[in-house]
Amino acid sequence: MDRGLEPPPAPGNAGPMTTTRNHPLSDRTAVITGATSGIGAATARRLAADGAHVALLGRREDRLKALADELRPTAPGTVLPLAVDLTAPDALATAADTIRSTLGRVDLVVANGGVMLGAPFETAATDEWDRMLDTNLRALLHTARTFTDDLIATAAEGRPADLVHVGSVAGHVLYPNWSVYAATKAAVAHLTRNLRAELGPRDVRVKNVEPGVTLTELGEDMHDRDMRQTLTRMRTTLRPLAPEDIAEAIAYAVAAPPHVNIAELVVVPVQQG
């Protein structure tokens, strides 16, 4: 049976948790942004395999539908692909309404969508700065805000509620010629810490997962050819992480007991140190 066509749970996800060893995220409803490729797609696969209902958000509708078609035959929960521009708050709000009406209240958000564009500061194309600010920071802020009420309501019922930001080690490590990208990820790191202080007392677990060098599509669309070559060398001079490595870390963190928050998780290749 195509589990993606089963009736969704009642809105609000009421009732006791029914997790199992094989499906530790059963009865949970996850939203994953940037699900069209890389870490987002890998995380969607892992959370779906662990039993969660998953909403796949991203710009490229064809990729989202292809991923949903891949997952539905074996996913225990429902898979919902939604093409949305995360930098447009109204579009994100409309997508959230569709998610709630189809899957119920959201209790797990993985804000993963991002872009990585490097260049020397004095020659960088400033439209790339704007793209990074819009996607890495503003879209992440609006994603978190859109689902915060859901998370607070879920936590008030004594159920796990997770807001996961996918940051980067660039938020606290020096990377010359990646200054603006690093600044957006530093902002994500400090935002996460402050949201932990704000939402933690209400039992919402806010966490930042910070990958090191990872083999994804990030950086392929950089204007600066030299920086594209630099990124390629970075990924070939050591054994980089795979997107599935980060998905594994996220799955581990959100499956922890409800009173445990794995607040900051740095995941790097061994050779990166």
119-128: per-residue pLDDT in tens?
999 999 999 9
265 occurs within a structural domain: yes
Is 168 inside any structural domain? yes
Using DSSP bridges, classify how beta strands 79-83 and 53-58 pair: parallel, antiparallel or unpaired.
parallel
Tell me if 5 is assigned to some domain.
Answer: no
Query: Residue 218 has what pLDDT?
Result: 84
pLDDT at 107 over 90: yes
What pLDDT, on a 0 to 100 scale, did the predictor assign at position 219?
84
What is the band of 22 on the pLDDT scale with cuts at 50, 70, 90? confident
Q: Which domain holds residue 118?
A: 21-272
Specify if 13 maps to a domain: no
Confidence at residue 19, expressed as pLDDT on a 0 to 100 scale: 53
- Selected catalytic residue, list 129, 147, 178, 181: 181
Q: Is 51 contained in some domain? A: yes
Q: What is the pLDDT of residues 200-227, one digit of tens each?
A: 999 999 999 999 999 998 888 889 899 9
> What is the tally of structural domains in the chain?
1
Does the pTM exceed 0.85?
yes
What's the CATH number where 124 sits? 3.40.50.720
Pairing of strands 162-166, 108-111: parallel
Does residue 181 carry a catalytic annotation? yes
For 43-79, letters b (16+ CB in 10 Å) and e give: bbbbbbbbbbbbbbbbeeeebbeebbeebbeebbbbb
